[in-house]
Copies of this chain bind each other. A is one copy, B any other.
């Protein structure tokens, strides 16, 4: 009989190091893993773990892999840079059979694709689990992530920014905002966090925004509509660099709900630049 412990955790892996971090955490916990790399996206180093590969269009192969290993729990994690070009895919027989279902998932835009993909997987008897449930260190506990802590005015800006980010989340617009010296100077929508931060840097370089030294904060939190099991806001070393270039003093995130990619390097760069990273509890204290 295959026991729960014998059943490996399946990690369907996009790019980056996080799929391996999740595998490490599961292994440390005494659990078997099976990383299934998305072809063209996953890091080749998943080969150091029990693994397989999945090509868009070969859902039959994916289902066979999962069934062969007796998996029940599935984690979907890692970046996906290129959307499949459905005109060029070689579809296996299984995929062709379920193509109408897949197409109905794909046509409606980003959030719906993920929600649809989860429904698709769960309908087939699998449980979708968040990467942070396996590797809690991917998210932050409430409090300072860095040795640097926000000073009083910076903490005020961080709170104001967090409230602004939550407000625009309610509009399903974006995940992030920038507040400097009490003023909301940028709100994220379709452009994304990095582009918003570059805009702040440009406005400052152009003299439209003025402050001395480092001030203000980026805040980032999920929109209420996001399914955090498969779609979490992220910050990482690049966020730190862009925040530093914009002249901000730090980054505010929600505890447990924002993924820190490459946490050690993110901390190192933030501390080297004199920036804080601070996690507010999900509700309450940033208001």
Question: Which residues of A are interface residues toward B (Cβ below 8 A)?
Answer: 109, 163-164, 167-168, 170-174, 177-178, 183-191, 195, 199-200, 203, 208-209
Contacts and interface: CB of A to CB of B under 8 A. Distances in A.
Contacts of A190: 183-186, 200, 203, 208-209
A187 B200 CA distance: 14
Chain copies in the assembled complex: 2
B203 A187 contact: no
Contacts of A188: 187
What are the 3 tightest A-B residue pairs by CB atom distance, in nearest-first order?
A173-B184, A187-B187, A185-B190
Given A168-B168, A173-B184, 7 more contacts: A164-B173, A177-B189, A184-B189, A185-B190, A191-B208, A195-B199, A199-B199
A172 B184 contact: yes
A201 to B, nearest CB: 12
Contact of A187 (B163, B168, B170): B168
27 contacts: A109-B183, A163-B171, A164-B171, A164-B173, A167-B167, A167-B168, A167-B170, A167-B171, A168-B184, A171-B184, A173-B177, A173-B184, A174-B184, A174-B187, A177-B189, A178-B189, A183-B190, A185-B190, A186-B189, A186-B190, A186-B191, A187-B187, A187-B188, A190-B200, A190-B208, A191-B208, A195-B199
Nearest to A168: B187
Contacts of A184: 168, 171-174, 189-190
Nearest to A195: B199
B183 A191 contact: no
Residue in A178, A183, A195, A209 with the greatest tally of chain B CB atoms within 10 Å = A183
Contacts of A164: 171, 173
